Chains A and B, each alone.
Chain A
Amino acid sequence: MADNEISFAGRKRPLETLIKGALFMSSLLAIVVTVGIVMSMAFETWLFFEKVSVWEFLFGLEWSPQTAIREDQVGSSGSFGAVPLIAGTLLISSIAMLVAAPVGLISAIYLAEYASARVRSYAKPLLEILAGIPSVVYGFFAALVVAPFIRMTGGQFGLEVASESALAAGLVMGVMIIPLISSLSDDVINAVPNALREASLGMGATQAETIKKVIVPAAVPGIAGSFLLAASAAIGETMIVVMAAGLAANLTANPLEAVTTVTAQIVALLTGDQEFDSAKTLSAFALGLLLFITTLFLNVIAMRIVNKYREQYE
């Protein structure tokens, strides 16, 4: 009977150990990529700051990487003050948020609280289409249809509108990020417990009053999170601004003028002929790092807020 005996001791399974190892390694990839992003940009940025001072980059008011302005300048290949780019980015993103925040939030409220199941089943996927359309398509539409339309309308009122205005890029970008706000806010509003709704309605409040005074205040953290994520997407958006906002580094708050953004400049600096190690090329990585840190900051805060909020009602 000896050879029929069953051993209950676990067999060594080298293949399974190997598989587990491979699974673990691939989960590390996410960290490797993040580290890779930071390292690659930090290295080039370091080289850049050897040529141009951090102070000049962050607070300089002049951006003209192509032409030398002062002979005695370090690097002598232009001036690298990022303030006009940051201002332009903020201007366009603010316009986008002015469009997307009210429209997205009100759409979410309507879908979550008023719309019938049938309307919801059509309207929600249709809104999601807006997020699925490639940004190059929005850029084309902004440059070809929206910008001339704004220019023409402005002309009727005697306003001087640049052919590549911040307004056109911002408006179109706003439409693109509406679904980001509407779908996340929709989830958040749906997560508000029904007890709150019923209590308010039971006291005689109308549906609109319930929404304005009870549901939205209860959902504010989640809504704020969705706004932050949308703002982060607006800041990082590239193709719309490359195609519709132009490259003129104007320091202005006038939405009818042409401005440029951090992302548009990165594209301008790195497409076409480039020499490595020139301040011009390296500055693109410094801008990239600035962009990465900004969006990282917004994303982390947004995700914290949303997660905390979820826990609150679970």
Chain B
Amino acid sequence: MSDLFTSAEKHLKSRHRSESRFRWMGRLAIGFSLGFLAIMLFSIFMLGKGALSRAEIALPVDLTAETVDQSDIEATSFSKLVRNTLFETFPEVTDRGERRRLLGVVSADAQYELKRQVLANPELLGQVQTIWFTASDDIDLYAKGEVDVTLPEDQRRLKDLELGWLNQLEVNGQLRSVFNKAFFTSGDSREPELAGILSALIGSIFSLMVCFALSFPLGIMAAIYLEEFAKKSRWSDFIEVNINNLAAVPSIVFGLLGLSIFLGVFGLPRSSPLVGGMVLALMTLPTIIIASRASLRSVPSSIREAALGMGATQVQSTFHHVMPLAMPGMLTGSIVGMARALGETAPLLMIGMVAFIVDVPQGFTDAATSLPVQVFLWADSPERSFLEKTSAAILVLLGLLIVMNIAAIVLRKKFERRY
């Protein structure tokens, strides 16, 4: 008898061990997902925070009458001015090849920066002024401490020559780090130090406006029909299956639809936010319909019966009583759908929104790109400096998504009703 007892007890112990093993597996599985999420966000944040600052170099520019025609500033060759300033700052550099490298210390935009400053502050003219120039991307990386100077010279882009100049600038206080406003106020550029997200951001906003203007009204109308008017039939079942299936169709297929119908048949402008928004609208439509139907369903039928009982028609009962109550839920679903559309890349590639866009798009038919596409384009660029731009653009994108999702949650919390 005691034998049986001990063997049962042993067995029980092993069963309890397996119980706690199973529990730990569950914790491990959730920990794996959340750990991955944390590592991903952390590494993107660490990579991207550098893009918030940029290096600038101070150079004494001779703006006296000898170099700048005081009466006609436009006629001055500012590129020559920048060149001469650099050569005078480092008079020991005489070799042609070395001089060309010296010119590469400041960004390719330096002459326009100088021109802008002079045009904005004419009082600078007439004397030698210290002007801060945007440094080129390699210098920028050095200033952020991302260049390993212990590597042998032939393995780094900055040679000892440049390091010598930089040393001199640093000692003289001619190298500083400032907030990189240009990242938020300019468009794409081939030069990493000048590239910004504004054109992509505006492209995204235009696309989302088109997307919302199309998918929100159509989505809630379809939902109202299916939930309030349609009689349960084969036909309504078929529509429902269609909607559920569209919600799971790969996004790239919508891009192919846009390419062959919107561009091929209707001849709408390629690369435009108009077409981008239309494609995104088709994609978000099922999400909005499904969310809106759920929201309509949660309105109790007593509301409808009361309205109908007071003599309202079905249309009146729906639009005056049911829809206002369901509106917060519909909006919440739409915001979630918009957030999804904001992050979508693949269908936009199909309709040509992958162009190199410097100028901020002015309208719905201008060539444009979008924030996630910009991330994709920069991720493909070989320059190392684009790495931090890519990560920073991702951070902006994630920031927008967080704002939209929080808005959806707040809306839901605020208007949530239990009947």
Point out residues on A near B: beta carbons under 8 Å.
13, 16, 19-20, 22-24, 26-31, 33-34, 36-37, 40-41, 43-44, 102-104, 106-107, 109-111, 114-115, 123, 126-127, 129-130, 132-141, 143-145, 175, 178-179, 182, 206-209, 211-212, 229, 232-233, 235-239, 242-243, 263, 266-267, 270-271, 276, 284-285, 288, 291-292, 295-296, 299-300, 303
Contacts and interface: CB of A to CB of B under 8 A. Distances in A.
A253 B339 CA distance: 37
Contact of B19 (A110, A206, A232): A206
Given A109-B26, A296-B249, 14 more contacts: A13-B313, A26-B218, A30-B243, A103-B33, A111-B30, A132-B340, A132-B343, A136-B379, A208-B19, A266-B350, A267-B346, A284-B256, A300-B241, A303-B244
Nearest to B36: A175
Interface residues of B, number: 84
Contact of A291 (B230, B252, B345): B252
Nearest to B394: A137
A134 B222 contact: no
Given A30-B222, A127-B33, A134-B343, A288 B285 contact: no
Contacts of A36: 257, 261
Interface string B307-341: 00000010100010000000000000000000110
A24 B315 CA distance: 13
B165 interface: no
B37 interface: yes
Contacts of A235: 250
B372 A288 contact: no
Given A130-B37, A238-B346, A140 B375 contact: yes
A116 B287 CA distance: 30
B397 A295 contact: no
A26 B289 CA distance: 10
Contact of A288 (B229, B248, B252, B344): B252
A299 B344 CA distance: 21
Given A27-B226, A114-B23, A143-B379, A135 B253 contact: no
Nearest to A33: B282
Contacts of A243: 376, 379
Quick one: which of A22, A40, A43, A114 has the most chain B CB within 10 A? Answer: A40
Contacts of B22: 208, 211-212
A306 to B, nearest CB: 10
B256 A288 contact: yes
Interface in B154-182: none
Contact of B26 (A110, A129, A136): A110
A137 B37 contact: no
Nearest to A267: B349
A26 B227 CA distance: 13
A238 B376 contact: no
Contacts of B345: 134-136, 238-239
A134 B397 contact: yes
Contact of A206 (B16, B29, B376, B398): B16
A110 B260 contact: no
Contacts of A22: 221
Name A's interface SS. Answer: helix
Contact of B256 (A20, A103, A123, A266): A266
Contact of A127 (B34, B225, B250, B398): B34
Contact of A40 (B221, B250, B257, B391): B257
Nearest to B30: A107
Interface in B256-278: 256-257, 259-261, 264
Contact of A126 (B32, B34, B398): B34
B81 interface: no
A41 B261 CA distance: 10
Nearest to A284: B256
B346 A239 contact: yes
Give the residue among B22, B37, B218, B226 with the most A Cβ atoms within 10 A.
B22
A277 to B, nearest CB: 11
Interface in B6-55: 15-16, 18-19, 21-23, 25-30, 32-34, 36-37, 39-40, 43-44, 47
Nearest to B247: A299
Contacts of A129: 37
B33 A208 contact: no
A23 B376 CA distance: 39
Given A37-B249, A300-B245, A27 B239 contact: yes
